[in-house]
């Protein structure tokens, strides 16, 4: 199997089964076998023993060849007693003490199983509102977020991963200013990503420089007004300061809600790519685009046949996961089996572009992004329709927009672009649809180890072209870009662009290109240089809004003290 050293390290540390003394009970091959067997077993009743073996082999090959990987909880837990296979959950928070603490308990159960949780705090009454039963006053959403944060801190998920949370507050909630500034100090509320839930009405008011209403959720009363532009600028200022909050466009999430009769979407999962209904979960998986290429007469091209084949198998795999999954709560079981959402996405996009000799920041790459994602979307729907013919439509089909369209699908959604934070390490490729972070860089890995990493595609080309040296890689790591290195041919300098060579608008345009053909949302960080201005942040937000993105997260280099990836820090 073609796993690099980092991949093996990560798998051994967190993914492979161990006994109570920490001794490994399986190797990576064994892990993929365990996962393939468990996921294929969903077909046990409907196919012959021989066909079941073939399905298992297909699933195994797809993972072992690193063509497709399911999200981490599936790799960790499939075929093991815990059996919780989804990365993404959204829980409701009711405006009662019982409701709030019930959700904290449920979130703890989900974190224990390796899942991440998103919540909207928008239903909670604002700070200072009265509490009838006690005659006291309410503490407000931000104060309760701190309780959720502390609970998450305490449940360290023995050996797998720390719980991640998304906290969302609507921009018209009276406590919105407290929320926008709640992570100003980096040390606070560290187990949450936060996003402001933006409405169309608000964006219109910003454009016209008008006031907008603040509404008390528990009464529906308008309790104040605020200038929309000032509020927008406060979000920009905080995001410039340390990357938080992000923004999500709530009305767009609901415009694309395929089961509006069942409920409104008020939150996403922790990294923002998966909008879900309250109590809904979703399992994700990513196709490694870097492997979807072929050589024709010395020319590298996208292998659409292989891609089609991989999409078909991946949809089958992810749909099976829904059946073998052990959900942490009965409400989640019911909802998730009801909509049967899956989220197929991609990783290794930047590596694919490098192999094709296409710069990330170019119109050709935007066009190719649309072509590839259109293809994946289309094939995933065909696969879901085929599954529906064999196994039936999703149970809430009659409450979905698909019944009006007359299209019989097995899954309410099929596509999502995840960050692939760990999956991309396992596959040894660039993460999600992000550009290369650097050509060579220092990675702070677990236990504070530091490693110099060289992008494998670059390393290969540098070797073939004869300009590779360790000394050069260290110099590149210090600089964070290969622009201006005389020993590197110019066309290679143009193709191997890093996050920091790319202007923010290309980041946003790439996100928009993938979003165009993605059911759910796209995880993307718009990386800005340290010198970026407030206007740069504001421009990125506007471009994302105008190009139909579902949200934006920006990050200005060096604006948080502790970064996972560092450039220019070689000792
Ligand atoms: O690569 P991997 O499958 O581990 O995860 P990812 O693609 O980076 O993240 C996908 C989703 O997994 C996130 O949006 C979260 O919902 C969840 N997640 C989590 O709960 N805790 C983490 N430490 C990382 C991810």
Which residues are CB-contacts of 510 (< 8 A; sequence separation ≥ 6)? 360, 365, 366, 369, 433, 435, 524
Known catalytic membership, residue 273: yes
CA angle 81–82–86, rounded 5-degree value: 135
Tens of pLDDT, residue by residue, the chain (571 residues): 889 998 999 999 989 999 999 999 999 999 999 999 999 999 999 999 999 999 999 999 999 999 999 999 999 999 999 999 999 999 999 999 999 999 999 999 999 888 999 999 999 999 999 888 777 899 999 999 999 999 999 887 554 677 899 999 999 999 999 999 999 987 889 999 999 999 999 999 999 999 999 999 999 999 999 999 999 999 999 999 999 999 999 999 999 999 999 999 999 999 999 999 999 999 999 999 999 999 999 999 999 999 999 999 999 999 999 999 999 999 999 999 999 999 999 999 999 999 999 999 999 999 999 999 999 999 999 999 999 999 999 999 999 999 999 999 999 999 999 999 999 999 999 999 999 988 998 776 666 666 778 999 999 999 999 999 988 998 999 888 899 999 999 999 999 999 889 999 999 999 999 999 999 999 999 999 999 999 999 999 999 999 999 999 999 999 986 544 455 543 3
Residues 155, 108 contacting (CB under 8 angstroms): yes
By CB atoms closer than 10 A (0-12, 13-18, 19+), residue 18 is middle
> In the numeric block, which tokens belong to residue 489?
């041919």
CA of 62 from ligand 1 middle (Å) equals 21
Place of tokens 């949370």: 165
Q: Does residue 72 line the site of ligand 1, with CB under 6 A?
A: yes
Q: Which part of the chain has CATH 3.20.70.20?
A: 1-82+282-571, 88-268
Any atom of ligand 1 within 6 Å of the Cβ of 271: yes
Cα distance between residue 47 and residue 45, in whole Å: 6
Q: CB of 157 within 8 A of CB of 110?
A: no
Q: How far apart, in whole angstroms, are the C-alpha atoms of residue 280 and residue 136?
A: 34
Q: Cα(159) to centroid of ligand 1, in Å?
A: 15
The distance from CA 439 to its chain's CA centroid, rounded to whole angstroms, is: 23
Pure H helices in 356-489: 363-391, 401-405, 423-427, 456-465, 470-479
CB crowding 260-282: b at 16 or more within 10 Å, else e: eebbebbbbbbbbbbbbbbbbbb
Point out the ligand 1 atom lying closest to the alpha carbon of residue 114. Answer: 20
Token pair in block for residue 446? 């677990």
Q: Is residue 271 annotated as part of the catalytic site, yes or no?
A: yes
Does ligand 1 have an atom closer than 6 angstroms to the CB of 71?
A: yes
Q: CATH code for 88-268?
A: 3.20.70.20
pLDDT score for 466: 94
Active-site annotation holder among 266, 273, 280, 453: 273
Q: So what's the architecture of 1-82+282-571 in CATH?
A: Alpha-Beta Barrel (3.20)
Q: Is 52 in the pocket of ligand 1 (CB under 6 A)?
A: no
Whole-angstrom Cα distance, residue 397 to residue 392? 10
Rounded to whole angstroms, how far apart are CA atoms 520 and 537?
24
For residue 275, the CA-to-ligand 1 centroid distance in Å is 14
Check pocket membership of 272 for ligand 1, CB cut-off 6 A. no
> How far apart are the C-alpha atoms of 170 and 184, rounded to whole Å?
18
For the CA of 272, the closest atom of ligand 1 is 14
Residue where the block lists tokens 């039936």 = 392
**Chain-centre distance for alpha carbon 557:** 20
Residues 79 and 35: beta-carbon distance below 8 Å: yes
Cis peptide upstream of residue 245 (ω within 30 degrees of 0) = yes
Q: How far apart, in whole angstroms, are the C-alpha atoms of residue 501 and residue 354?
A: 15
* CB burial of residue 239 (10 Å; 0-12, 13-18, 19+): buried
Taking the CA of residue 424 as reference, the ligand 1 atom at the shortest distance is 1
Q: Which of 6, 11, 71, 273 to mutate to test the pocket of ligand 1 (most atoms within 8 A of CB)?
A: 71
DSSP E strands, 130-183: 165-170
- 260 is written with which tokens? 């509006």
pLDDT computed for residue 561 by the predictor: 63
Does ligand 1 have an atom closer than 6 angstroms to the CB of 73? Answer: no
Whether residue 423 has its Cβ less than 6 Å from ligand 1 = yes
Please tell me the total number of residues recorded for the chain in this structure.
571
ipTM of the shown complex = 0.94
Q: Which letter does DSSP use for residue 13 in this model?
A: I
Q: How far apart are CA 332 and CA 336, in angstroms?
A: 6
Q: Point out the catalytic residue in the list 88, 182, 271, 549.
A: 271
Report how far residue 530's alpha carbon sits from residue 78's, in angstroms, rounded to the nearest whole number: 42
- Residues β-bridged to residue 130: 137
């Amino acid at each position: 199997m073609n796993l690099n050293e980092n991949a093996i390290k990560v798998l051994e540390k967190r993914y492979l089964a161990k006994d109570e003394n920490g001794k490994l009970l399986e190797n990576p091959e064994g892990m993929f076998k365990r996962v393939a067997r468990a996921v294929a077993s969903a077909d046990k009743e409907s196919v012959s023993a021989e066909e079941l073996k073939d399905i298992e082999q297909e699933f195994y090959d797809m993972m072992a060849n690193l063509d497709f990987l399911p999200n981490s909880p599936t790799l960790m837990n499939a075929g093991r007693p815990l059996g919780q296979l989804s990365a993404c959950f959204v829980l409701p928070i009711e405006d009662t003490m019982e409701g709030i603490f019930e959700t904290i308990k449920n979130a703890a159960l989900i974190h224990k199983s390796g899942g991440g949780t998103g919540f909207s705090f928008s239903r909670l009454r604002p700070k200072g509102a009265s509490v009838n039963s006690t005659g006291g006053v309410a503490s407000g959403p931000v104060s309760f977020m701190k309780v959720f944060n502390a609970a998450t801190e305490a449940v360290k998920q023995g050996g797998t991963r720390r719980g991640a949370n998304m906290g969302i507050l609507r921009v018209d909630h009276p406590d919105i200013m407290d929320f926008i500034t709640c992570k100003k100090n980096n040390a606070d509320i560290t187990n949450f990503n936060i996003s402001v839930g933006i409405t169309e009405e608000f964006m219109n008011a910003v454009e016209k420089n008008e006031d907008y209403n603040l509404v008390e959720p528990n009464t529906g009363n308008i309790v104040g007004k605020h200038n929309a532009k000032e509020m927008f600028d406060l979000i920009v200022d905080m995001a410039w300061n340390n990357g938080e909050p992000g923004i999500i466009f709530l009305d767009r999430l609901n415009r694309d809600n395929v089961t509006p009769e069942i409920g409104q979407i008020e939150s996403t999962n922790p990294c923002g790519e998966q909008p879900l209904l309250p109590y809904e979960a979703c399992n994700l998986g990513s196709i490694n685009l870097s492997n979807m290429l072929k050589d024709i007469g010395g020319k590298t091209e996208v292998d659409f046949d292989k891609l089609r084949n991989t999409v078909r198998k991946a949809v089958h795999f992810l749909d099976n996961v829904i059946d073998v999954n052990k959900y942490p709560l009965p409400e989640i079981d019911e909802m998730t089996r009801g909509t049967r959402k899956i989220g197929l996405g991609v990783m290794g996009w930047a590596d694919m572009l490098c192999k094709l000799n296409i710069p990330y920041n170019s119109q050709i790459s935007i066009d190719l992004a649309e072509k590839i994602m259109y293809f994946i979307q289309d094939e995933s729907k065909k696969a879901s329709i085929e599954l529906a013919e064999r196994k039936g439509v999703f149970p809430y089909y009659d409450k979905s927009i698909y019944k009006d369209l007359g299209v019989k699908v097995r899954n309410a959604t099929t596509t999502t672009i995840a960050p692939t934070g760990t999956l991309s390490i396992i596959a040894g490729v660039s993460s999600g649809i992000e550009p290369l972070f650097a050509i060579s860089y220092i990675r702070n890995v677990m236990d504070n180890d530091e490693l110099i990493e060289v992008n494998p595609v670059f390393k290969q080309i540098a070797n073939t072209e004869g300009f590779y040296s360790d000394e050069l890689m260290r110099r590149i790591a210090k600089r964070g870009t290969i622009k201006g290195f005389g020993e590197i041919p110019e066309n290679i300098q143009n193709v191997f662009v890093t996050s920091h060579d790319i202007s923010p608008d290309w980041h946003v345009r790439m996100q928009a290109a993938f979003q165009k053909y993605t059911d759910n949302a796209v995880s993307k960080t718009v990386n800005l240089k340290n010198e970026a201005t407030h206007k740069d942040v504001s421009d990125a937000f506007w471009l994302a809004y105008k190009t139909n993105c579902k949200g934006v997260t920006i990050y200005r280099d060096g604006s948080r003290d502790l970064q996972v990836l560092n450039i220019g820090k070689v000792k």
